[in-house]
Amino acid sequence: MEFTKMQALGNDFMIINATNQVLNLSKEMISNLSNRNLGVGFDQLLLIEKSNNNNIDFFCRIFNADGNEVFQCGNGIRCCALFIYYNKLINKKMFSIATNKKRMICKILNNNNVIVDMGEPEFIPSNIPFLCSKINNYYSMYVNNQVIYFGVVSIGNPHCIIIVKDINDPNINVLGPIIEKKSIFPNYINVGFVQILQNNHIKLRVYERGVGETQACGSGACGAVAVGINQQLLCSKVKVDLIGGTLIINWKGMGSSLYMDGPAIRVYDGIIDI
């Protein structure tokens, strides 16, 4: 099986072109492939498939390192877009990619950056899903003998966003995995910790469900900015510094699409016997 290894801000992916073949990869097989010592090693596996919808150019299936399928990955979509363009699967620089949850418009820039229209963030609790009866900008929960205040949003996948004073606080390493599996989040949740430097500049660490802490999370950056804007802490254009690099997020608020701008890099092409 041919594949391509790509990364975006250190968030790495195994990408397979499934437009010309049918693949049935088991959960166990994906988990084995994700192993960084015995397999290819990746945060997510991305399958690019043909679309039967005239309004969608390509379909992308996303699997976490544990083999579970998820429905959004901002860094992964940028890598998919660059893969599609440089493998000449399409002859234009602007096209659409859809997951099971969302249709996104991608634009390839000359510096290998990709701008993605991520659609409008979702704050209705039942659509995230989040077990709460009404929308609020702030919620609270009790974790490890302390009250945690947070915001919740879906960017096609769910995010819990927590504002902290110091992004290097060692307590974050404890809180991330616990909050991910809290019962108020029926499908588990990605947990983002945000340090606000200025209203247009933040630092972010993300614990991704089924993966652990990653070098970067594109949808997490989108979620962090969307929650920060709703909480009136951030302006409409924000620089997001992650462990692996920087993204620019633009959002004008409710009723508008959110845009993510960042790089994607092809690491190598390979063939593996499965």
Q: Which of 63, 20, 43, 21 is nearest to 242 (CA)?
A: 43
Catalytic annotation, pick one of 80, 106, 217, 222: 217
As a whole number of angstroms, the distance between CA 46 and CA 63 comes to: 7
Catalytic residue among 73, 79, 106, 160: 73
Cα 119 to Cα 116: distance, rounded to the nearest angstrom: 9
φ/ψ of residue 228, rounded to 5: -60, -40
262 exposed, middle or buried (CB, 10 Å; 0-12, 13-18, 19+)?
A: buried
Could you confirm whether 79 is annotated as catalytic? no
* 3-state secondary structure (DSSP) of residue 216: coil
217 catalytic, yes or no?
A: yes
Three-state DSSP at 128 gives coil
How far apart are the C-alpha atoms of 51 and 85, rounded to whole Å? 16
Q: Which two tokens stand for residue 158?
A: 């769910």
Which residues are known catalytic residues? 73, 217
